[in-house]
Amino acid sequence: MVYKAVVIGTSTGGMAALGEVLHALPRNFPLPILIVQHISSRSDGFIVRYLNELSAIRVKEADEKEQIEAGCAYISPPNYHMMLDQDSCIALSVDSKVSYARPSIDVLFETAADVLREGLIGVILTGANSDGSKGIAAIKKRGGIAIVQDPATAEAEAMPGYAIKAAQVDYVLSLKNIGAKLIEIVGV
C-alpha cells in the first residue's frame, strides 16, 4: 500500500505527546503530517516553535491553499478548522465549532479520509473529549489505518477511549511506540 499522509489529533496533554511522536520520526519521513491540537484561540505559536526544536522534520502552522509536502508537519492555526481539499491542499475555515472545538479533529480526519481514502493513516493521542472518534471511524470506513494511543499511557484517556469504541482500530500502542509504528508502516 502506498500511503499519502498522516493525520494526528490530540487535546489535553497533546503538546508533550506530539513532541514524543515527532521526535521519533527521521528527517526523511516520506509523508506529510497534518495535526490538530486543541489550543486556545489566543495561542502565540509556541507549539510550532516547541515541536520544531524536538523534531527532525519541519513543523509549521498551516496556511490556506498550501500544498502538503512530504517530511513536513502542519499544525492547524488557532481558531481555524483545517481540512484537506480534493487537490490535497490545506483549506482553513472558521465554521462553527465541532465537538466544542475549533480546530476540530473530526473535521480534518473526515475531509482527509474523503480525499486520500486507503492512503491515509490516522492517529489519536491523549485528550479529554470525544473529538476524533467520528474521524477515526471515517478513516477506517475508507480503508485507511487507525492508530490510537493506549488510554493507560495517555494524560487524558477519554479521547483514545472514544476512538477505540468508535472504530475497529488497527493498533493501540503506548505513546513511546507510535513513532516507530509509523516508520514501520511507511517503510523508512
Give me the CATH number covering residue 145.
3.40.50.180
Alpha carbon distance 4, 119 (integer Å): 5
Question: Would you give the DSSP letter of residue 71?
Answer: T
Return the bridge partners of 90, or none: 84
Whole-number Å distance between alpha carbons of 82 and 32: 14
- pLDDT of 41 above 90: no
Asked if the peptide bond before residue 103 counts as cis, ω within 30 degrees of 0, the response is yes
Domain count, the chain: 1
Find how far residue 138's CA is from the centre of its chain: 14
Average pLDDT, the chain: 94
- Mean pLDDT throughout 29-41? 91
Q: Does 90 score more than 80 pLDDT? A: yes
Q: Looking at the DSSP assignment, which residues form a beta bridge with residue 74?
A: 34, 60
pLDDT digits (tens, 9 = 90+) for 109-148: 999 999 999 999 999 999 999 999 999 999 999 999 999 9
Per the structure, the complete domain to which residue 32 belongs is given by: 5-186
How does residue 160 score in pLDDT terms, banded at 50, 70 and 90?
very high
CB 48, CB 18: distance < 8 Å? no
How far apart (Å, rounded) are the C-alpha atoms in residues 1 and 155? 33
- pLDDT, position 49: 92
Compute the average pLDDT of residues 151-159.
Answer: 96
Q: What is the dihedral of CA 103, 130, 125, 38, to 10 degrees?
A: 30
Question: What are the residue numbers of the active site?
Answer: 11, 38, 131
Residue with cell 487507525: 146
pLDDT digits (tens, 9 = 90+) for 47-59: 899 999 999 999 9
Please report the pLDDT score of residue 100 as a whole number: 79
Q: What is the pLDDT of residue 155?
A: 95
Question: Confidence band (pLDDT; 50, 70, 90) for 102?
Answer: confident
State residue 45's pLDDT score: 79
DSSP, res 70: T
Cell output for 159: 479521547
